Amino acid sequence: MKIKNIYFIVVTFLVIGIVIKFTYLNLNSNKPENKKEEEINNKTIVVPEEIQKDTNIISEQVAKKDFKEIFSFNGEVEADPDNIINISSRVSGKVTRVYFKPGSYIKKGRVLLELESFEISKLRSKYLSSLNKFNSTKKNYKRLKELSKLRLAGEQEVINAETDFNTSEAELKTDKANLISLSIPLPDKDNFHSEEASKIQIISQLSGIVISRNVVPGSQIDPNQILGTIGNLSKLWFIFKIFENDLSKVSEGSKALIRLNSYPDENFEGFITFIGKKVDSVNRTISGRIEFNNKSGLAKIGLFGKAEIEAVIYDTIVISENSIFKIDNKEFVFQEIKPGEYEPKPIKTGARDKESVQVLSGILDGDFIVTKGVYNLKSRLLKSTFGEDE
């Protein structure tokens, strides 16, 4: 029994000791992260007047201004769907001639290819037959109508002639609409030859560069089969992905500079014309679109690159990158209290570019900070605070 009591007492003291230790550590965690930071914050560096000229320390007044931040986004070049067409035929047939090649420039209205089609021959023949019937019934109806006025034709004859005329007119309109819907030119009955009845030309509906060609003479083609692609590539799209935390940094209308991986020294200027309305549930990004000019013709559909987009932060404190120094990965600046006296101030920074940094806290508009001679003062700070070993 006594052994159990002794064991219980020992365990109790061990538990109490552990609790006291963790309590002590927790209390100390609320203090500054290290002694060095505390000592630095309370230190003033005094540079005697007689050596101030030799140290070449220069201070400048802090002022608020607009800060331009550059963000980079990966993306890919795409064609504007309104400036690209697929070449196709609405009827089946055999290709007899092809007049376009990949890379060549095509003007709108130019003949791209010719083909022969039995279907076209039937439609044209039917149209001409309907046209002849229409002209005949029209002429007969008009003749009987005049004879009726002279009482030389019966009323029923006129009615029958009018019915035939209306029927032939409806048939002609239907046959004409069938040809137009298939982009088949209407045949001229006075200059129509039977050997031309089955032939048709495919015309370009857009001026641009031939991107692809998928047909050769002798090919048997089907309706809506893609025979080639023509695109106006003078203006292109750059589609890029925006992560959620960057969404507030871009807006429609913002200027963008595109650099393609294939042409790192070439700049393509454009503007953001669209930011998507839906977040991709897989990678949590939103699509953006930049429209840019491709006057040089270097940009190609499918090329990858980066878009640099400029965002403006208005009325914020901006200082030179050279004004900042680090101790234990914490950023500081030297504030000039009066000529020859300087205090290290911890700062919190935000956006930055190659030369300037936005300051979120630590210094105020109107303060004077050291912009030249920072490392001289840092050396004095470390020596005076931690001794020569520092």
The predicted-structure confidence for 42-61, as pLDDT tens digits, reads as follows: 678 888 877 777 778 889 99
- Determine the Cα–Cα distance for residues 19 and 15; give it in Å rounded to an integer: 6
What is the side-by-side strand order in the sheet with 199-203?
Answer: 199-203, 111-116, 93-98, 220-221
Q: Which of 255, 289, 314 is at the close of a domain?
A: 314
Q: Look at residue 97 in the predicted model and tell me its pLDDT.
A: 95
Residues 143 and 201 in one domain: yes
Among 174-183, 205-214, 324-333, whose mean pLDDT is lowest? 174-183
Q: Look at residue 18 in the predicted model and tell me its pLDDT.
A: 62
- Determine the Cα–Cα distance for residues 260 and 307; give it in Å rounded to an integer: 9
- Determine the Cα–Cα distance for residues 141 and 156; give it in Å rounded to an integer: 12
pLDDT above 50: residue 352: yes
Write out the residue range of the structural domain in which residue 264 sits.
71-82+232-314
Residues 279 and 300 in one domain: yes
Q: Look at residue 47 in the predicted model and tell me its pLDDT.
A: 84
Name the percent of the chain lying above pLDDT 70.
85
* Coil/strand/helix, residue 207: coil
Residues 222 and 269 in one domain: no
Q: DSSP of 231-297, one letter per residue?
A: E-TTEEEEEEEEEGGGGGG--TT-EEEEEETTEEEEEEEEEEEEE-SS--TTT-EEEEEEEEE-TTS
pLDDT above 80: residue 7: no
Q: Look at residue 20 in the predicted model and tell me its pLDDT.
A: 60
- Residue 388 pLDDT grade (very low, low, confident, very high; cuts 50, 70, 90): very low
Mean pLDDT across the chain, nearest whole number?
A: 85
Residues 103 and 191 in one domain: yes
CA-to-CA dists, residue 200 to 95, 117, 204, angstroms: 10, 8, 13
- Determine the Cα–Cα distance for residues 142 and 138; give it in Å rounded to an integer: 6
Q: Look at residue 227 in the predicted model and tell me its pLDDT.
A: 96
- Residue 389 pLDDT grade (very low, low, confident, very high; cuts 50, 70, 90): very low
Q: What is the mean pLDDT of residues 265-278?
A: 94
Q: Look at residue 212 in the predicted model and tell me its pLDDT.
A: 95
Residues 158 and 286 in one domain: no
Q: Which of 257, 284, 314 is at the close of a domain?
A: 314
85 CB contacts (<8 Å, ≥6 apart)?
204, 205, 206, 229, 230, 231
Residues 135 and 215 in one domain: yes
pLDDT above 80: residue 15: no
Q: Look at residue 153 in the predicted model and tell me its pLDDT.
A: 80
Q: What is the mean pLDDT of residues 330-334?
A: 94
Q: What is the mean pLDDT of residues 372-382?
A: 88
Q: Look at residue 54 in the predicted model and tell me its pLDDT.
A: 73
Q: Which of 261, 284, 314 is at the close of a domain?
A: 314
Residues 173 and 266 in one domain: no
- Cα angle value 269/274/276 (rounded, 5°): 135
Q: What interhelical angle do 118-149 and 155-181 show, nearest 10?
A: 150
pTM of the predicted model as reported, rounded to 2 decimal places: 0.63
Q: State how many domains the chain has.
A: 4
pLDDT above 50: residue 320: yes
Q: What is the CATH number of the domain that holds 288?
A: 2.40.30.170
Greater confidence (29 vs 196) lies with 196
Phi, psi (5° rounding) for residue 92?
-80, 155
Q: What is the mean pLDDT of residues 17-41?
A: 54
User: Which residue in this structure is represented by tokens 């750059």?
Assistant: 238
Residues 16 and 139 in one domain: no
Residues 145 and 189 in one domain: yes
Residues 110 and 195 in one domain: yes
Residues 95 and 198 in one domain: yes
Q: What is the CATH number of the domain that holds 194?
A: 2.40.50.100
The predicted-structure confidence for 228-244, as pLDDT tens digits, reads as follows: 999 999 999 999 999 98
- Determine the Cα–Cα distance for residues 229 and 226; give it in Å rounded to an integer: 8
130 CB contacts (<8 Å, ≥6 apart)?
168, 171, 172, 174, 175
Residues 96 and 183 in one domain: yes
Greater confidence (74 vs 1) lies with 74
Percentages (nearest 5) of helix, strand, coil residues in the chain: 35, 35, 30
